[in-house]
Structure 1
Amino acid sequence: MRELDVVVIGAGQAGLSAAYHLRRAGLEPERDFVVLDHAPRPGGAWQFRWPSLTYGKVHGMHSLPGMELTGADDGRPSSEVIGAYFDAYERRFELRVHRPVEVKAVREGGSGGSEGEGGRLLVETSEDTYVTRALINATGTWDRPFWPHYPGQETFRGRQLHTADYPGPAEFAGQRVIVVGGGASGTQHLMEIAEVAAATYWVTRRPPVFREGPFGEEQGRAAVAMVEERVRLGLPPQSVVSVTGLPLTDAVRRAREEGVLDRLPMFERITPDGVTWADGRTVEADVILWATGFRAAVDHLAPLKLREPGGGIRVEDTRAVRDERVHLVGYGPSASTIGANRAGRAAARSLTRLLKQTGSGTRAAQGVPA
């Protein structure tokens, strides 16, 4: 078993930001910390995005710290653009990400102190077992698509898929498609599919809120604060995007004028041939696309018993309240690209101080500032 000061789980925006700031604090990759990633190649969750999501359609992509993303082709798939950028970033800062590595569990190591007070953590993976003083969890949400259950769902004779598996619009040509979900991905998929499908229907639990005008810093802070409050209370985090509303772009305006974004309330049950509402209305469909969001991928942390009665992990800044050795980045209020950058820096600084207090042998513990 390899003993380290920090293990970073995840090499998306938050994980790479954290690794960058650990290096700036004087910790060396492989000697003092490792970055583990389950994905087959660089790019975080971006590498799994559908091909029709070009870089020009991406909203609010912020560069990683220390290296700008410049000269990107707006017509190129975002998975390729951002994947290449993350790859170049890892090489430039010699972060040496281990992949593909599955983290199976994180549990108490039982040496070097009592639980939660300086003791080691064991990180059990498909590659090795690591003994670490601290952990930065940057696993995001992509691995946990949320599938709601409705009566009759198992009887549907058509195809059901989640937005995580969305292949692009071509596969839906000539079909009748129900898109469930009022978020940004749901509307993007719906507008693409409507161009080739025989019929489309948009179903959401709540009426969508379309946002007029630019989304300024003040609105952004308010949205983040709402998500942050849930995390402080130990509730499952709500996405920042879910509280900001849908931007009323030219494409969205056209879709509304053409009736593509005419929203239907949530159906009551699923039938073998489609869906039905309480008032007796029915719609026949070939496909149900669940654009119903994601949940935080933190099941591997279960042995540490970090969850609160409300179902979430209570976090202050980036630190898990129940265990100061564990920091969560890209979780809740830091689940945006700019939020992930800031969270990575905050976690690295906090853990540098913790390592110094607990007598780590790294340069950071010897007084190198974060």
Structure 2
Amino acid sequence: MTYTTQVVVIGGGQAGLSVGYHLRRLGLDFVILDAQAEAGGAWQYTWESLHLFSPAAYSSLPGRPMPVQGGQAYPDAGHVVGYLSDYERRYELPVHRPVRVSGVHRDGQLLRVETDYGAWRARAVISATGTWWRPFLPAVPGRPDFRGRQLHTVEYRGPGDFAGQRVVVVGGGNSGAQIAADLAHDTEQTWVTQRPPRFLADDIDGRALFDAATARRRALDEGRTDTGGVASLGDIVAVPPVREARDAGLLKASPMFVRLDRDGIVWADGTRAEADAVIWCTGFRPALSHLAPLGLRGPRGHIATAGTRSVDEPRLHLLGYGDWTGPASATLIGVGRPARDAAREIAALVR
């Protein structure tokens, strides 16, 4: 079966809901196609102790402040799932789930979105699938030989699965620090980073990060000196569990190892550490395989954009993948502005 609408949004997480809010306000006909069975996007799959970097008041989508979570300065992932579910209901956003998109194709004056539930033909498409669904694992020598358990951030749930074990946590970003802190009390843990970890000042949270990312984007757009953005402040937000583990001397990073063997990790000088498990907190890549039929990727796999709009296919917008699709657009507070701009551009295109 084939359906027709003005706009198809692919992805029903925070980016998809944000742009849905603006499309609804502009009076456009649209659908949101979400591959997940329930509302909440990637937040429903995170580890148990995960908390936001910002208070609820600074973690809101357009039009609806996030309620404060009782007893929590920084809301946990379950609170975010509830907030996104409520947001979707409150604005009666037309989310269809579970619908898996297999490809976006050119179809004359329209774009055709092929799914396991039929096809949608639309004047414009917004890809808002995020990065959680495409975890990145580095090609470290010996990784296939390691006999212990290996998992990525997306598979980690809590320290109970590793009690009493020797665990290596790889990654010097926020996920690595939070998971290392989570494991610090119940495991024999080794935290490994490419460079010495850089903790942001304890009074800096997501509000300051959003402001820094926005200032950098504005400076670049105006041809001024690069401010360095978030990277100039540090890599790790000192949320309370991270701060407590750090201050207790439980977050001491070792340099990156050069290879794995059957039983653990090996550094350049031959020093070894045996391990029962390795947790790779090594980041993500944009989940964009559904856009392959459009042939938009450049030599390094990057899709060129002007704001959120694809340079080579102006009927396509990409939203929520990071700074290249809007300052801090992969965050709750940051996605609202590029979502608004994308909706306005699309309204001008389809009317």
TM tier, smaller = 0.7 to 0.9
Do the aligned residues in 2 keep the contact of 1:39 with 1:99 (CA within 8 Å)? yes
Indicate conservation of the 8 Å contact 1:223/1:243, yes or no. Answer: no
- Counting matched residue pairs gives 333
Q: Aligned match of 1:40 in 27, 37, 42?
A: 37
Query: Is it true that 1:51 corresponds to 2:48 in the alignment?
Result: yes
- Whether 1:73 aligns to 2:70 is yes
Q: In structure 1, what is the equivalent of residue 225 of structure 2?
A: none
Q: CA deviation at 1:147?
A: 0.8
1:141 aligns with 131
Partner residue, 1:285: 275
Deviations 1:180-204 (A, max 9, x none): 000111111111111111x100111
- The whole-number CA distance in structure 2 between the counterparts of 1:276 and 1:227 is 40
Tell whether 2:68 aligns with 1:98.
Answer: no
Query: How far does the alpha carbon of each residue in 1:75-124 deviate from its partner, in whole angstroms, 9 at most, with x for none?
Result: 69834322222222212211131111111011111x2xxxxxxx211101
Which position in structure 1 is the counterpart of 2:256?
266
1:130 aligns with 2:120: yes
What root-mean-square deviation, in Å, do the aligned CA atoms of Structure 1 and Structure 2 show?
A: 2.5
Given that 2:7 and 2:125 are in contact with CA atoms closer than 8 Å, whether structure 1 keeps it comes out as: yes
Amino acid at match of 2:101: V
Aligned residue in 2 for 1:337 = 332
Match of 1:168 among 154, 158, 164: 158
SS at 2:96 equivalent: coil
Displacement after TM superposition at 1:243 (Å): 7.1
Q: Is the 8 A contact 1:320 1:328 kept in 2?
A: yes
* Residue equivalent to 2:326: none
1:227 and 1:331 mapped to 2: Cα distance?
15
Identity of aligned residues (%): 48
**Which amino acid in 2 is paired with 1:41?**
E
Counterparts of residues 172-251 of structure 1 (less than 5 Å): 172-197=162-187, 199-212=188-201, 214-215=203-204, 220-223=210-213, 244-248=234-238, 251=241
Corresponding residue for residue 289 of structure 2: 299
The residue type equivalent to 1:209 in the other structure is R
Name the counterpart of 2:224. none
Check the 8 A contact 1:49/1:78 in 2, yes or no: no
Alignment partner, residue 22 of structure 2: 21
SS at match of 1:201: strand
Match for residue 86 of structure 1? 84
Are 2:104 and 2:112, in contact at CA under 8 Å, matched by a contact in 1?
Answer: yes
Distance 2:257 2:220 in 1: 28
Question: Are the equivalent residues in 2 in contact too, given 1:183–1:242 (CA < 8 A)?
Answer: no
SS in 1 for 2:335: helix
Unpaired runs of 5+ in structure 2? 222-228, 324-328
Aligned-partner Cα distance in 1 for 2:133–2:194: 23
Measured after TM superposition, the shift of residue 71 of structure 1 is: 4.2
Structure 1 residue 309: deviation in Å? 2.0
Residue aligning to 1:308? 298
User: CA offset at residue 205 of structure 1?
Assistant: 1.2
Report the more deviating stretch, 125-134 or 247-256: 247-256
Distance 1:2 1:169 in 2: 46
- Is contact 1:191–1:255 with CA below 8 Å preserved after alignment? yes
Q: Is the 8 A contact 1:7 1:134 kept in 2?
A: yes
Could you tell me which amino acid in structure 2 is paired with residue 45 of structure 1? A
Check 1:263–1:12 CA distance in 2 against 1; reply closer, same or farther (3 A cut): same
* TM-score, normalisation: structure 2: 0.88
Q: Distance in 1 between matches of 2:134 and 2:117?
A: 22
Distance 1:192-1:327 versus aligned 2 partners, 3 A rule: same
Letter in 1 for 2:343: A
Q: Distance in 1 between matches of 2:245 and 2:46?
A: 22
* Structure 1 residue 11, shift from structure 2 partner: 1.1
Contact 2:135–2:284 (Cα < 8 Å) also in 1? yes
Aligned AA for 1:40?
A: A
Amino acid at match of 1:207: P
The question of 1:9 aligning with 2:10 is answered yes
- State the distance in 2 between where 1:230 and 1:271 align: 45
SS of structure 2 residue aligned to 1:132: strand
Shift of 1:287: 0.5
Report the residue type matching 1:165 in the other structure: E
User: Which range is displaced more, 204-213 or 43-52?
Assistant: 204-213
What does the per-residue CA deviation read over 1:142-164, in whole Å, with 9 as the maximum and x for residues that have no partner? 10011112111111111000010
Under a length normalisation based on structure 1, what TM-score does the superposition of the two structures give? 0.83
CA–CA separation in structure 2 for the residues paired with 1:135 and 1:83 = 25
Q: Secondary structure at the match of 1:6?
A: strand
Distance 1:127 1:194, change over 3 A: same
Q: Tell me, what secondary structure is at the counterpart of 1:139?
A: coil
Compared CA separation, residues 179 and 106, structure 1 to 2 (3 A): same
Q: Deviations over 1:216-237 (max 9, x none)?
A: 8776444456689999xxxxxx
Q: Distance in 2 between matches of 1:273 and 1:230?
A: 47
Distance 2:239 2:79 in 1: 23
> How far has the Cα of 1:43 moved from its partner?
0.5
1:295-320 CA distances to partner (integer Å, 9 max, x unpaired)?
11111101112222232112221111
